[in-house]
Every structure is written in C-alpha cells, then in structure tokens.
Amino acid sequence: MNYMDNFKKWSESEIINKKTRQELLAIQDDNAEIEERFYKNLEFGTGGLRGIIGAGTNRINIYTVRKATQGLADFIKLYSSNKSVNSVAIAYDSRHYSDVFAEEAALVLAANNIKAYLFDSLRPTPELSFAVHHLNCDAGIVVTASHNPPEYNGYKVYGADGGQITLEMANAIISQINKFDIFKDVKICNKEVAIKNELFSYIGENIDQEYLNRVTELSLNPNIAKDFSDFKIVYTPLHGSGLMPIERALKMLGYNDLHIVESQKEPNGDFPTVKSPNPEEREALSEGIKLAEKIDADIVFGTDPDADRVGVAVRNKEGNYELLTGNQIGALLTHYLVTNKKDINSRDAVIKTIVTSELGANIAKAYGATVFDTLTGFKFIGEKINEFEEKNNYDFLFGYEESYGYLAGTFVRDKDAVISSVLIVEMAAYYKLKDMTLIEAMDNIYKEYGYYSDSLESYTFKGIDGQEKIKSVVEKFRNIDKLLAGFSDINTIEDYKDSTKYFVKTSHNEIIDLPSADVIKIHFENGDWFAVRPSGTEPKLKIYYSALGSNNDESLGRLKHLKEKIHEYL
C-alpha cells in the first residue's frame, strides 16, 4: 500500500476521531506532507516507538499506540500463558499527550484481559522499571521521548525483569504487530468497564515510598549530610518528572539546603524555558547556574523529562560553573564506588558501552573489578545484569554510558537519574569534606590515570533522503580499502554489524562476542579511537572521539587532530 492509499484509508476510516480527521483534511493538498506522514509505518524498534506527534502511520498518535499495545498484548498472551492473570505497569512523563497515550494503552490491555497498573500521575522511567519487577508484571510501558524536542513523544516497552525489552522480545512483538490492521483488529474497552472488571487500577504512593527506600539504601555515606551546615544544592527537573522522587530522596538523607529552579519546577510539555530539555547541554542548565551563582551553591544538576539522565555543573578554580561530561561523571562515580566500598574484587562488575571512554574502566580494573563492554543502549547493560544473576558469576557494581546515564543497584534495570543524583550529591559532599570540588577530584583522577579528551558530534538528516545520507556515510567507513587509504596509522577496525575485529598489521579477524549493530569503531596505533553509528531513536549520525595524553594540552591537541582527520576523510 503506497502513501496515498494509506492517507485515503485513514481519511475514510470510521474509527478515527474528529480531531484526527480535521488534521488530515488540513494536509489533503500537501503531497510532500502526506508522503512524509504515510510513506511508512512508525517503526517499532528495539525499545518501542518514537516519533513526531500527529496523524499518520509515520507519527505517534492514539492509533499507533493502540496498535503497538495490541501487539504487546498478543505477545504476552502467547508467551506468558502460565499465569492466571497477566499484568503490565504503565508510566508517563510530562510530554504532550503522554497521559492520553498511557491511558489508551491501559484500555487496550484491559480489553485483552490483561490487568493494567497505571501510575496516577507522571513518574520517572526508572520508577516504572522498579514497579514492573516489584508488582511481578509481565511487562511495562513508559510514554516518553526522553530529551527530544517538544513535538516528539515515544512508547518504550520493558520486560518482566524491569529492563528494556531484548532484541528477541522486540522482534516477537513486531511479528504480532504486523499481523493485524491498525483499525479493524485492535481491541479497546471502556474505562469504567475495565475498572469494574479489575483490569485497570491506579498505583502511586505505595510504589513511590518503596522505590525511594531502595534508592536511599544505596548511599555509601548516609550520614554525610549531617556534617554540613553550608552544603548548597541546586536542582532543576526541566519541566519533567524528576522533582518528586529526587527532592524526597535527598531530604530523606538529610540534604535540606536544596534549592529548586522555580521557573522549571512545574511539568510542561512545551519545555518553555529551554531550547531542548537535555541536561547535558549548558543552555538547559543555565537557569540552574544563575540560581547557583546567586546563592553560591556547591553543585547544580538537572534531569531530563523522564528522569533517567542527569547533567551536572560545579565551580572550577576560576569560580565559574563548569559542566562535567557524561564520561567524567561516569569516571567520578566509578572511582567513588570502588574507593568507598570494601573488598572490591574480580566478582564486582562494572559495565560500560563501546562508545564510552576507557577512563572509568581503567579505574575499575586498577581496584580489582572486572569490566564488561556492551553495545550502545542501557538495555544491554540490563541484560548483562540478568546474566550475572542467572550464572551467579559476577556481582553488579555500576553501569554507565557516555550519554549521561548511570545505574547502581539491581532493583532498577535501566539508567536511573534518581539514584545517580543521590550518589552525585553525596560524592560532591564527600569531596567538600576534603576541601575539594568535583573538578579537583577529576583532575586528580587524570593525574593518576591519564588525560582523556572525549567528544561527540551529531549530524541531523531528516526525512527519506536523510536516511539514505546516513547510510552512505556509515558505508564509507565500512569500506576497509578506502579507510586504509585515508588513514595510515589504524591499528584495528571493529565492525559490529558483522561482529568482526580486523587487525591491520597482521590482516586477520577476530569475532566480537556482541549482538550485531550498525557501528564502526576504529582504533589508532597511538591509542586514540573514534566510532560511527546512526542513532537508534533520532534521524542523526553520531561520531564519537576519544584521545589520551600525558597532560591536558596534549590530550586536547590529539582530539583536535583526530577530528580534523575524520572531517577531511568525509
């Protein structure tokens, strides 16, 4: 069925509501817009859906959400039939239509005789992960588009362990989704009927308190807040879901000098005070930094709308607030954990992704822990935790990725900004007792382990042509002959698509023991590396860089040279 046929099907359907029909009528003479909205189905990827809100098969709306949920329901009934009652926990953030999409999903599940536990208001993604396991559910759903622009929303699916669904589970759900029509074959029931039949219920404070109890138990120095009368903290939830759990967790641990950025306190899907609700960008933390400067705060941090990622700024020697990178936060937290936990040994496991700096890994190894690499995406870290528990061969200590996602503890199986925020604040307080900032702590780590300079460049290519552009660039790096002609000092080429590591000097291959992924990683003889991958959630090409030097100037110089080489090649 071509895009015009799809448009006609939607326009003439008796199922669609008045608002959707009006939206379609408004574009009926715009062929390019019709094509972009209907040339394909919004893909249910390895984590679920993510797209622009609006009418169309290539948009996220109540109909694409219903269809995805029907596929999930069919999957659950097919593979979880040993239970007398199947159930799914559902959470949502502050984005437009998040509450609507969450309730629509709940009513589809109820219509399929699967009980839906819907949070009574917005909650962070990690609390959803916790709730799935805590309530013994078969799956979980969270409606969020993380830090994407306001016009986006998404739909992420979690397995019974509380982790993002595996590749196998995603493929099985997709197989179910592809079997039926988006209008004719999706079941949905009335809310009152669902509640009466005990297939729809709200959850809230009982889960909140249990989750927060577990979060605060992860503190390595739970009494440290008592040693301060002047430790000032500034936090911004960036109009998202992090305020309640983070404020409560910090106050449970005694951090009472907590200042919330008032202009960004309330949930708002327009994110009116920022260009993007992305806590890794200085602009997103600018309101927090202003408040910190006014009150002379020790630390500023912010979380994205679904509170699974956290960005941090602290004062440097010049008295200015400096943002820490995701790699730096990961290295600092790794160091804090291994130096404050007793008896670290080879059973203790630290997990990072293949595009994350080696600094944290080298710290963990120096203290006797074992380090594992996974593909990009926290789902793979969650899978590794499951593997450790099944085999009883390692104890999970810490997992992180360069994109500002971190996890300690095993009661959540996804990156968790609530846990991370508590540990980061505690770590900053710990170093303040030593008359140090996190910047100075980072400098000490560099002096001991080497100066790492890491960088990420993202290139956006929208639409059909954009997808082809991204593909062509990745293939240019995949062509070994062209690559070797362009660079004279390559040591190894890792192609994760065919799971091979090619050694240039000896011309032999080794197998990479990870699932297939569209990623190329090139290591140079001097230890520098870069990696190229298409984003799994946005129309972007991402290039990661890492350079190591004996001092900061050397490291930055090597990073600059590495980028210039890649830009010249492109």
Handedness of CA 130, 135, 140, 141 (dihedral sign): negative
Would you say 253 and 422 are in contact if contact means Cβ atoms under 8 Å apart? yes
Would you say 153 and 60 are in contact if contact means Cβ atoms under 8 Å apart? yes
Which residues is 235 bridged to in the sheet?
260, 301
Q: State how far the alpha carbon of 436 is from the alpha carbons of 230, 314, 447, in Å.
A: 14, 11, 15
> How open is the CA angle 143-149-152, to the nearest 5 degrees?
40
Q: Bin 499: left if φ > 0, else alpha if -120 < ψ < 50, else beta.
A: left
Burial (CB count within 10 angstroms: exposed 0-12, middle 13-18, buried 19+), residue 451: buried
Q: State how far the alpha carbon of 3 is from the alpha carbons of 33, 80, 444, in Å.
A: 10, 36, 58
User: Max alpha carbon distance in the chain (Å)?
Assistant: 70
The count of residues in the chain is: 570
> How open is the CA angle 140-141-147, to the nearest 5 degrees?
130
Which sequence positions are flagged as catalytic?
146
- 8-state DSSP, 343: S
Burial (CB count within 10 angstroms: exposed 0-12, middle 13-18, buried 19+), residue 559: buried
